[in-house]
Structure 1
Amino acid sequence: MPALFSVFDCCPSDKKLNFLLNIPMKRENQENLITEYVMAISGFMNIGSGLPLEELLAKERQGLTQRLNPYLQKQNSYKGQISAWGSLSSSLSSLKTNLEKLQDEGFNGVSVGTNKAFQATAGSGAIPNSYQIAVEKLASAHQIQSKEQDSRTNLLGSSADSRTLTIDVGDSGKPLTVELKKDETSLDQIAKKINAQNGDVIAEVVSLGEDKFKLMLTSKKTGEAGEMAVTTTDPTLDSALGLHDKTAPQNAIVHLNGDRVERSSNTISDLITGVTLELREISEKDPDDPAKFKPETLAVTADTSKVKSLIEEFVKNYNSYLSTATKATKYTAPDRNSLGEGEVPTAAADNGALLSDGTLRRLTSQLKSTVTGDYTSTNDVFQTLGKLGITVKFEEVKEGEQRTGALGTLSIDNKKLDEALKSNPKEVEALFLGRDGQEGLKGRMEGLFDTYLGDKDALPKKEGAIETALASLREKDSRNAKQISAVERRIEETLKVREKEYQRLDAAMNQMNSMSQQLQSALAGLV
């Protein structure tokens, strides 16, 4: 552009145009000057005022968001590791639960017979034995009723503004207290207020016929432990209700091997270790002695029918753990043949989240060693699981093929296991549960469970190796999430600045375009 133009570069467009039109010179020279100026600014205006702002901002956003990639990769890594450890913890917990069942419900499992006067249920700790039981009385709840009233809605209290009704149940020391206003002393209102407390008493108004109603209070606790005592601070209400016993509380009475025993409930779980009795009805009288009740035999017998299914479940859970661990440590070699010159191979996307985790490698190694270990100290018949027909199975992989399954899974020879359980059940039990102070498979694995899962007695769960690893990963993930938020804020702030700059540029282009049109019109007028 001629040096002349630089003199008024800072002037507004309209003043620039007026300046050029009013320069005293020959018409031909003035026309050439304006033409040169129009050509100069037209070259810049090739951009035009219709700038694709959305497209420009989208491209800029795409570029800026690349800053998030390192943090997003960390986020995916942390979440993948957290998920993997969660699955491994679940697999270990299943193994632990299974071995506990094998002890409680398998080798030490019992069953009970069927009885008429009571129903017995055997649980943990029950041992094979036989008992003579007779039911003399069933426990019943205390019931109190009011005097008969001719209305369920008539007020029965005095004119006092309020009064208190108190119900003591047994020796709990926590009485049920109800505050009754002057208009809340009818049978219906009293029952409603008592039930609203949701305590150990049920209140209802029973209809005995036309204009015959009674308030009935029933203890939720049976036997003498549920005996009720009702008092009120309103003598008028007390007299009108006239509460008295409908059914006295009664304890259950049973005879165990000839010994008389009382309990407040018909559900008795503290009489025979590991056995719960549900009393159903009073026993028949003894035909030889009508003063006595005829006892029934409660037979608690050994029942190891669940042993095999629980051993099968153990093998299934162990193989499931190995499968989970294999997935978490999977490694796929990069395809170097597809790399260009100078390109560096990157880790495969399907690599396991815990590929290089030392804690997982130790856990898997120790678990395999425990399961395939020797337990000669427990017995001379079955020193290893292999002796029972539970052997390690290795996947056969042909040359050039990749392994698809977990390494070292267990398989069962059912014929061999059935024979072992039939001929030497106690020796099988010793292998799993130990004997004479010597640890079996369960005992050794409990050490691993304590170390990696944590135990409420030996080691708090939060101090277990897995929970410790998870706590660290969650902390890292939390810090990384804050960094992601910070970068996202900076990106948005940058984009807002860019958007304003594009808007100013667009406005400037529009102004220059308008000025160009004015100059061209002026030039046309000079012709």
Structure 2
Amino acid sequence: MATPISGLGGSGLDIPALLEQMKTAESKKLNPYLLKQSSFNGQVSSWGKISSSLDSLKSNLGKLEDEGFNGVSIGDNKAFKATAGKGAIPNSYSVIVEQLAKSHKIGTPAQASNSDQLGSNAATRTLNITIGDGKTMAVELKDDETSLTQVAKKINDKNGDVTASVMPAENGQFQLVVTSKKTGSDGEIKMEVTGDSKLADVLNYDPKVPNDPANGGNKSSAYQINAAQNAILTIDGAKVERSSNTIADAIEGITFELREVSEKDDNGDLKPETLAVTADTSKVKSLIEDFVKMYNNFLSAAGTASAYSEPVKGSSGDLAQQNPANGALFGDGTLRRLTSLMKSTAMGSYGEAGDLFQTLGSIGITVKFDGNTGDDRTGTLGSLSIDTKKLDAALKDNPKEIEGLFLGKDGNPGIKAGMEEVFKSYLGDSDKTPKTEGAIATAIKGLKEQESRVAKQITRMEQRIEDSLKRSEKEFLRLDQAMTEMNSMSQQLQAALLGIMG
């Protein structure tokens, strides 16, 4: 009696194992595409790290100009707080805070109930609220939404430039109080009801025709609780009036935050406070140290991306293969040019920007090659190293000369201007309209497009492999059925022969 082949099918064929073997073999067809996809993704990632390192260096050079060499400090004041930004220069000012900005606040006449409907029966009614010269906010009110509580809720639901609240009034009564979120004249409130004259009598208010019940005004109409008030201060005798207590356009580079009205002297006059803006270069050293660190971070990112390793030797007779340990951007011309430009800019000579210090090496910042230093070395390798004592001495004795080296002098460019040209070329220029796209963004865009095409090829190949496996599965099943039938016939014949012979 014949022994059937062991397996899972009726014939003994192990169909799942056969399909798995075929799948493993077929999947190898994906390898070239997967390698390409991995390569493109690796290049995109490397460019992202290099771009980030350049952004950090660009930001550092901006801080070196704004907060370092041109940095200022500001003393403390009681009536106001002043902070310095870009453009602030050392100076002294006499400042008086005459008046703080306040929000406009209006209230309705007192009502016996906060839940009684104050309007008439009307098809529709709208409460229109206008702040200053801004856009009008329309609040739709139904017949059952004209009580003080409902009106306040409907106003607040709009989340506009006013807030509304129901407040207690005298004799157990209530009133609706509407307050502008904006201070000063820009926040003046105007309220007008259309479609319901009864409700209009309670809520209408026009700042151009203010109602003052305490001085003969209409006691049954809305009135002003607090007037909109602008901030007023004088700077060296010149009056400045703004709608906000935060004032950033009075002195270039200085932002005021008004706290309180200035104190008065014995004669009842407001006393001025001195705003002292003094030069402060205490951040220069730390920012220069950051510059060196961030420049070295760029070199590290570029070095990793362009790393080279010896080719991998193949089996006997095979050609050597590129080492997979190579950097993702190994051999990339764009990166090679970028690194060369950054190196030559950092280690260049800027004789016209300063008489004493013309290179980074002259202030103690040198290039290190395998442990050796020297500012006379050129090329695309090597990191920066700081001689702290030499840098400290240069900052102490000749800070303006160091400023010229980094920021330029008398129209002659320094290191910052040179690097900004590199940043513009490789990072682009977002200050222009339209935005200029840099070489890195262009490279990343091209790589992503290639990766997208490869991803589509992978999808198509995966579909072909799946279709091939399905066809093979059907063929294996047919073969299994045929072999099963043959085994059955063989067994029947053997049984018949045994019967004849028996």
TM-score of the pair, normalised by structure 1: 0.87
1:306-455 matches, cutoff 5 A: 306-336=283-313, 339-396=314-371, 407-455=381-429
One-letter amino acid matched to 2:234? H
Q: Which one of the candidate residues 54, 67, 70 is aligned to 1:105?
A: 67
Secondary structure, counterpart of 1:168 in structure 2: strand
- Alignment match, 1:79: 41
- Alignment match, 2:377: none
Distance 2:371 2:391 in 1: 24
Secondary structure, counterpart of 1:293 in structure 2: coil
Kept in 1, the 8 Å contact 2:6–2:12? The answer is no
Distance 1:459-1:423 versus aligned 2 partners, 3 A rule: farther
Kept in 2, the 8 Å contact 1:131–1:298? The answer is yes
Kept in 1, the 8 Å contact 2:407–2:416? The answer is yes
Kept in 2, the 8 Å contact 1:132–1:295? The answer is yes
Q: 1:207 Cα shift?
A: 2.5
Kept in 2, the 8 Å contact 1:461–1:467? The answer is no
Deviations 1:169-211 (A, max 9, x none): 1112x11211111111001110111111111111111124774
One-letter amino acid matched to 2:370? E
Kept in 2, the 8 Å contact 1:450–1:458? The answer is no
1:20-419 matches, cutoff 5 A: 49-172=11-134, 174-208=135-169, 211-233=172-194, 234-241=196-203, 242-287=221-266, 289-290=267-268, 292-336=269-313, 339-396=314-371, 407-419=381-393
Instruction: Please identify, of 240-249 and 485-494, the stretch whose mean Cα deviation from structure 2 is larger.
Output: 240-249
- Alignment match, 1:400: none
TM-score of the pair, normalised by structure 2: 0.91
Kept in 1, the 8 Å contact 2:193–2:200? The answer is yes
Distance 2:5 2:176 in 1: 97
Q: 1:239 Cα shift?
A: 2.6
- Alignment match, 2:206: none
Q: 1:457 Cα shift?
A: 3.7
One-letter amino acid matched to 1:383? Q
Once the two structures are aligned, what percentage of the paired residues are identical? 57
Deviations 1:124-173 (A, max 9, x none): 1101000000111111111000111121111000011321111121112x
Deviations 1:27-72 (A, max 9, x none): xxxxxxxxxxx9xxx6998998110101111111111111111111
Q: 1:469 Cα shift?
A: 0.6
Distance 2:114 2:4 in 1: 98
- Alignment match, 2:448: 474
Secondary structure, counterpart of 1:282 in structure 2: coil
Kept in 1, the 8 Å contact 2:430–2:436? The answer is no
Distance 2:105 2:357 in 1: 62
Distance 1:369 1:147 in 2: 77
Q: 1:238 Cα shift?
A: 2.5
Q: 1:335 Cα shift?
A: 5.0
Q: 1:344 Cα shift?
A: 2.0
Distance 1:258 1:462 in 2: 46
Deviations 1:481-509 (A, max 9, x none): 10010111000000000000000000111
Distance 1:162 1:116 in 2: 53
Distance 1:428 1:238 in 2: 70
Distance 1:45 1:53 in 2: 12
Kept in 2, the 8 Å contact 1:454–1:460? The answer is no
* CA RMSD, Structure 1 to Structure 2 (Å): 1.9
One-letter amino acid matched to 2:227? A
One-letter amino acid matched to 1:247? N
Kept in 1, the 8 Å contact 2:5–2:13? The answer is no
Secondary structure, counterpart of 1:126 in structure 2: coil
Which of the pair has more CA radius of gyration? 1
Does residue 463 of structure 1 match 2:437?
Answer: yes
Structure 2, unpaired ranges of 5+: 204-220, 373-379
One-letter amino acid matched to 1:408? G
Distance 1:151 1:177 in 2: 25
Kept in 1, the 8 Å contact 2:74–2:275? The answer is yes
Secondary structure, counterpart of 1:285 in structure 2: coil
Kept in 2, the 8 Å contact 1:395–1:407? The answer is no
Does residue 519 of structure 1 match 2:496?
Answer: no
One-letter amino acid matched to 1:72? L
Distance 1:134 1:462 in 2: 46
One-letter amino acid matched to 1:295? P
Q: 1:213 Cα shift?
A: 1.2
Distance 1:525-1:192 versus aligned 2 partners, 3 A rule: same
Secondary structure, counterpart of 1:377 in structure 2: helix
Structure 1, unpaired ranges of 5+: 1-37, 398-405
Deviations 1:206-260 (A, max 9, x none): 1247742110000111111111111112221123452110011111111111122
Distance 1:276-1:396 versus aligned 2 partners, 3 A rule: closer
Secondary structure, counterpart of 1:191 in structure 2: helix
Kept in 2, the 8 Å contact 1:133–1:256? The answer is yes
Kept in 2, the 8 Å contact 1:159–1:182? The answer is yes
Q: 1:261 Cα shift?
A: 1.9
Kept in 1, the 8 Å contact 2:6–2:13? The answer is no
Distance 1:517-1:178 versus aligned 2 partners, 3 A rule: same
Distance 2:491 2:47 in 1: 70
- Alignment match, 1:34: none
Distance 1:335 1:79 in 2: 23
- Alignment match, 2:470: 496
Distance 2:278 2:334 in 1: 45
Distance 1:340 1:181 in 2: 88
Q: 1:458 Cα shift?
A: 5.6
Distance 1:193 1:466 in 2: 52
Distance 1:367-1:458 versus aligned 2 partners, 3 A rule: farther
Kept in 2, the 8 Å contact 1:130–1:298? The answer is yes
